[in-house]
Amino acid sequence: MLGRTLSHYRIEEKLGEGGMGVVYRAWDERLNRPVALKVLHSAAPDETRARQVLKHEATALLRLSHPRVGTLLDFDHAEGVDFIVMEYVEGATLERQLTKGPLSQHEAIAIAIQVAEAIEEAHEHGVIHRDLKPGNVMVTSKGQVKVLDFGLAKLTKSPLGTGTTTWLSQSGGDGARLLGTLPYMAPEQILSGTADARSDIFSFGVMLYEMVTGVRPFGGDTAISVGHAILNDPVVPPGKRGAVLEAPLERLILRCLEKDPARRYASASLLLRDLRGLSHPREIRPRRTATMRWILTASAVALVAATFVLVFHADVGDFLHGLTTRRGSLRSVAVLPLANLSGDPQQEFFADGMTDAVICQLARLGALRVISRTSVMRY
């Protein structure tokens, strides 16, 4: 196909290959822009079925218009070849990124939020992806995510809803067929071929687990052993795989990976809500044992108590008398933000509270001007 022109699209480079199609980078000679062409695989065992899948993907993408989903530009036939045209996304797949090792919690959450936004968009328009995996997630150099390949998507007659208990299960049609990529398939997909919104959430959980640990939650040397693990084996918590992450994210991942669909997130909207709650920037440290956390907390409390005794139970007049200059008495003071020396980010509120308390107490002295906290925070 390289060098050929289909309609007004000149094929320049092969980007990837799947079971039924090959994706190329092509040049749109009418609009002078790069595009991605998905062409039917010449070796597809069932050409009629392959054409149906390609048209099916185009139909699914027509329902969606979202910055986290690859945009469909055209569906055409030329020189005996069926193909779809999509926006060209420059970057690398998440699968390729993970060959370098696991991501940090901050990186994983940033990508996960964007993938969840794409899932939410799809589910709200009655589209179940059914093949979520790192190879179908493109990440640009700026960290922007595009979810691709809706060839196996399940289309429903109505939106799947975003409430806590609203979903629409797949039944009939493809029910007897095993659709998807086995290591990322939900138990119900393996058992009966059925899938609903919660099946995508399970696949999402497998991806997120792999992002933070570098390995999949369910392994095996054969397809049978992988399927058995998904159906029967308990999930090893990511922290026990060496992942450095906080407990709320671990709980979120484990909830996505529940074998019983009723115990997972009921909708992508609820999943996205919790992910966004974890997205605040913060330094992630290895989790400590309960004993160590108790020691650190007790130390911080003792430090706070001692500081209060020193500052507020001392003779404030003597304290200020020592803060004089050669030009006269001290007339203003700035309280710099106190540092958290415990090494535990969860104790930050102690330092913040102490800073506010000192400022408030000094401000009660009418003869002293106390600089506001906002003005001194940059120091």
Catalytic residue among 131, 149, 196, 200: 131
Structurally, at CATH architecture level, domain 5-87 sits in 2-Layer Sandwich (3.30)
Please indicate whether residue 174 is annotated as part of the active site.
Answer: no
Domain ranges of the chain: 5-87, 92-277, 290-376
**pLDDT the model gives residue 162:** 35
**CATH, range 92-277:** 1.10.510.10
Tens-digit pLDDT string for the chain (379 aa): 888 899 999 999 998 886 667 899 999 999 999 999 988 766 555 667 777 777 878 888 888 888 999 888 888 888 888 888 989 999 999 999 999 999 999 999 999 999 999 999 999 988 999 899 999 999 998 899 999 988 788 887 655 443 322 233 333 334 445 677 899 999 999 998 888 999 999 999 999 999 999 999 999 999 999 999 999 999 999 999 999 999 999 999 999 999 999 999 999 999 999 999 997 544 444 444 444 454 555 555 445 445 544 444 444 555 555 555 445 567 788 888 888 787 665 565 566 667 767 776 777 676 678 887 656 655 6
Residues in the chain: 379
**pLDDT the model gives residue 375:** 64
